[in-house]
Amino acid sequence: MRMWWSGNEQMDFFEHILFQALGKPVEVLETRFLSGGDINTAAYVFSSEGAVFVKWNTAEKEGMFETEARGLTLLRQAEALTIPEVIHYGHYQEKAFLILEYINPTPRGTNYWQNLGQSLALLHSHTQPRFGLEFDNYIGSLPQNNALTTNGNRFFIEQRLQAQAGLAFYKGLLPKDLYDKLPRLYDRLSELLPNERPALLHGDLWSGNILVNEQGDPALIDPAVYYGFREMELAFTTLFGGFEPVFYEAYDEAFPLEPGFSERISIYNLYPLLVHVNLFGSGYVSGIERVLSRF
């Protein structure tokens, strides 16, 4: 998605939102468009007050940026990983925007994957009594319901699998025979998944949502935060090629997994697969079919 407008409008937009954020006039000296993913437009903005990262969308997306800001702040408070500081969010000229600390990308450090594994284990050590979150948010552009519950399997079924499967079926993307098979899997989850406490999750952890900071260490962006099964986060990292083996070794050493995790990966990945069906189409249905045929 890309919103183009004239150079003067561009400068006015950036200078105005920085004035909103900082409470004083700011002179924008340089701008450079960056990748904002499939949903938003993004830019590096260098001003008289330093560098920031800005992303924006149409005004009705302000709620999306608000929940992202709240999620980033929650992750940052855990003090486990580098998370960009939220500077401001709001709207101006029929555009919603989010201003973040700019992380200057550098090559990965020697211990990058080990540090990521250990740091993610530390993040997952943060817990609370219930699964979910005090506010709903988004995964990509899709609403993510985080209604709180003490039962992890119930949360996984109702707020993750049923929500996305129902949407995919309604949109005609998920065949009825597959949709009808899901309840049979739900009935087996208590015997298939370990009963673990809720863990603080990034929620959308794949390589595209990890930057490298100036020290060569990982920095996480674009979260879909909630408290859930930590194995679900690790499973997601395997979906698009996986991370280096040392990442998983470092994580398991810091926060050992229950035996048989590799056998459970495909169950957890039903959620991101259903999300991808709803975002990108029926090309991901075959992956769902393989999981349901197995279990």
Portions of the chain given CATH number 3.90.1200.10? 112-294
Is the pLDDT confidence value at 249 over 70?
A: yes
Residue 36: what pLDDT?
61
Residue 8: what pLDDT?
76
Per-residue tokens: 269: 């990945």
Residue 1: what pLDDT?
43
Residue 14: what pLDDT?
94
Query: What is the rounded average pLDDT for all residues in the chain?
Result: 94
Mean pLDDT for 226-244 is 94
pLDDT in tens, 17-52: 999 999 999 999 999 988 766 688 999 999 999 999
Note if 204 is an active site residue.
Answer: yes
Is the pLDDT confidence value at 2 over 50?
A: no
pLDDT in tens, 253-292: 999 999 999 999 999 999 999 999 999 999 999 999 999 9
Portions of the chain given CATH number 3.30.200.20? 7-101
Label residue 4 by pLDDT band (50, 70, 90): low
Residue 61: what pLDDT?
84
Whole-model pTM?
A: 0.94
Selected catalytic residue, list 38, 136, 177, 204: 204
Which comes out higher in pLDDT, residue 1 or 112?
A: 112
- Give CA–CA dist 34/52, Å, rounded: 12
CATH topology for 7-101 is Phosphorylase Kinase; domain 1 (3.30.200)
pLDDT in tens, 180-206: 999 999 999 999 999 999 999 999 999
pLDDT in tens, 88-111: 999 998 899 999 999 998 999 999
Residue 40: what pLDDT?
87
Q: What CATH class has 112-294?
A: alpha beta
